[in-house]
């Protein structure tokens, strides 16, 4: 497990170094958070995204930690507030809507992320909602399906191919989120997504932690 953890850190350092980040800062933050039981992947993704958009990583970190302690989904909070802030929405309004939906048994992340993303790309929000509900009833991970369709479509991939691959992986006990995160991150850094997938599969078969 230590080998896997440090391999993850090493990969993050390399990625950060190529993007002009301070690897020392990254390492210290990730190690500290890991000791406190946080998800290193979540932190890393959030800090990188915020830095690229001109946010203060320290501010981001503090907000995420506070929300986690209060039982919020840090990923939901971060994604929603950032997206809405860029579109001129009130973050407070967003938070209230998400909480209301959660109390009604909806997945707030699914509803908000998908409808906002699709609206910006000219899709019909009603159609998106219907698709998500149908998928949920059939036991698919709606977050997986939609994140991949949207991300891949913007990058010129075939959404059908992506969806089929992810569904197959889920049935084989792989983490679809892992596959997606790796493919997307590596694609942005000019890596071959096929190479990443092969490596992840090999690691899983050898008993490694796919996340690390």
Per-residue pLDDT of 111-143, as tens digits, reads 444 444 433 333 333 444 444 444 443 333 334
CA-atom Rg of the chain in angstroms: 18
- For Cα atoms 57, 58, 59, give the angle at the middle one, nearest 5 degrees: 90
Arithmetic mean of pLDDT, 25-51? 44
Q: What is the mean pLDDT of the chain?
A: 41
Q: Give residue 206's pLDDT.
A: 39
Tell me if 51 sits within 8 A of 57, measured CB to CB.
Answer: yes
Q: Give residue 153's pLDDT.
A: 36
pTM over 0.75: no
Q: Give residue 93's pLDDT.
A: 38
Please name which of 169, 134, 171, 166 lies closest in space to residue 147, comparing C-alpha atoms. 166
Please name which of 191, 137, 192, 183 lies closest in space to residue 163, comparing C-alpha atoms. 183
């Amino acid at each position: 497990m230590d080998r896997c953890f440090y391999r993850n850190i090493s990969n993050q350092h390399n990625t950060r170094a190529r993007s002009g980040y301070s690897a020392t800062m990254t390492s210290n933050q990730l190690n500290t958070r890991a000791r406190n039981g946080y998800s290193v992947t979540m932190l890393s993704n959030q800090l990188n995204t915020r830095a690229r958009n001109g946010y203060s990583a320290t501010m981001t970190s503090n907000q995420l930690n506070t929300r986690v302690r209060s039982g919020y989904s840090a990923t939901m909070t971060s994604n929603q507030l950032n997206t809405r802030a860029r579109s001129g929405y009130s973050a407070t309004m967003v938070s209230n809507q998400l909480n209301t939906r959660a109390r009604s048994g909806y997945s707030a992340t699914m509803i908000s992320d998908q409808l906002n993303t699709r609206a910006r790309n000219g899709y019909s929000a009603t159609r998106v909602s219907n698709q998500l509900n149908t998928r949920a009833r059939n036991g698919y991970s709606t977050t997986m399906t939609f994140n991949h369709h949207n991300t891949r479509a913007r990058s010129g991939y075939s959404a059908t191919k992506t969806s089929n691959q992810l569904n197959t992986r889920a049935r084989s006990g792989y983490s679809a989120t892992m596959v997606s995160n790796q493919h997307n991150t590596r694609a942005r850094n000019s890596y071959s997504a096929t190479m990443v997938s092969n490596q992840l599969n090999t690691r899983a078969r050898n008993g490694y932690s796919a996340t690390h």
